[in-house]
Amino acid sequence: MLRKITYIASITAVGGLLLRRTGLWSSGAPLLVTDADGHRLPGSVSEKTYMDIGGVRQGMFLQSADVTNPVLLYLHGGMPEFFLTERYPTGLERIFTVAWWDRRGAGLSYNPRISPHSITLEQYLADTLAVTDYLRQRFGQEKVYLMAHSGGTFFGLQAAARAPERFHAYVGMSQMVRQLESERMAYEYMVARFRELGDLRMLRRLEAAPVTMAGGTPDAYLSVRDKAMHRLGVGTMHDMHSVITGVFWPSITSRQYTVGEKVRLWRGKFTAGVMPRWQQQILATDLAEEVPEVDVPVYFLHGVHDYTCCLSLAHEYFERVHAPVKGFYTFAHSAHSPLFEEPENVRRVLSEDVRTGTNKLADPA
């Protein structure tokens, strides 16, 4: 009996050690912002914080090497992205005080008691402006920078247009414009590429669920979309060919989320996928018509391999939108996430153009 108890205890200890070493089991404490020797930088901040926004407890990660730096509010896409910074460091915290906010219903802000049908564009806009005001007050800054990615650009751009007095500039990474048309273009591209590659199995799955302007995006297409995009290198990142190894595994091994927070991260992701009203609104909206003018500098960052939000549509809108300063920047080695794929190039744009209100590094007109 004693030997059996000792054996079970040993197995339990080894299992616990593996869980801790892989990050599957973690305290959820944010990593410190450190110098080259691993020492915490004086005046830095790295924390997970919560606040009440519109009656809902919502969370964010705050990171900064120097809290006197200008504030940047980051709006994520389909799911929170802070966990990716462990594998793909962005360095944003070196030039900004960055707020990685998990919006209502997502990640740290997920609450199963919130009906997905209650989350609307107007609610997201109100939340965004409330978080902006919290950051302005906390860090004593009149304005903040607003950076949005993918799905976050849908309401981020509208927030900047609605309340330009709160923002220094708007930065859209993989900017949405006419998303249904983007999905149709992506579908046609993938069908052609898989036909060229001779991948008949994937080709049959796509051809059985065509995307059209009249019929929209069938469920059968959505079930294979991410897998197909990543296999071709036109999804999250150009060099990321699997959602499981590229997104899911980094999320569940992140040491900055507790086990419960990791569960909520994915519950929020799956819940967002069954929000028909919200999804239909995104697909039906032409942001070029909704937001013809923004009274702050506007910057678009786009990977040339991106078919999640097609580059040509973003560039077409960029040419039309009126703003005091505009800059469009393409990234040759990126798909949907230049910030994580080419962080040095993105930081240079943010430091030399966005923070100075210029566009000298932008693509030629």
Whether the pLDDT of residue 7 is over 60: the answer is: no
* 241, 284: one domain: yes
CA 130, CA 140: separation in Å to the nearest integer? 15
pTM of the predicted protein model: 0.91
* 35, 18: one domain: no
* 140, 241: one domain: yes
Q: 161 or 16, which is more confident? A: 161
* 168, 185: one domain: yes
CATH number, domain with residue 309: 3.40.50.1820
* 15, 88: one domain: no
* 15, 156: one domain: no
pLDDT tens by residue, 183-221: 999 999 999 999 999 999 999 999 999 999 999 999 999
pLDDT attached to residue 9: 39
Mean pLDDT of the chain: 91
* 174, 211: one domain: yes
Boundaries of domain holding 22: 1-29
What's the burial of 230, exposed, middle or buried (CB within 10 Å: 0-12/13-18/19+)?
buried
CA 102, CA 104: separation in Å to the nearest integer? 7
CA 129, CA 126: separation in Å to the nearest integer? 5
Whether the pLDDT of residue 13 is over 50: the answer is: no
Q: What domain count does the chain have?
A: 2
* 2, 75: one domain: no
* 237, 265: one domain: yes
* 235, 274: one domain: yes
* 16, 86: one domain: no
What's the burial of 21, exposed, middle or buried (CB within 10 Å: 0-12/13-18/19+)?
exposed
What's the burial of 76, exposed, middle or buried (CB within 10 Å: 0-12/13-18/19+)?
buried
* 10, 86: one domain: no
pLDDT tens by residue, 251-285: 999 999 999 999 999 998 888 655 556 677 888 89
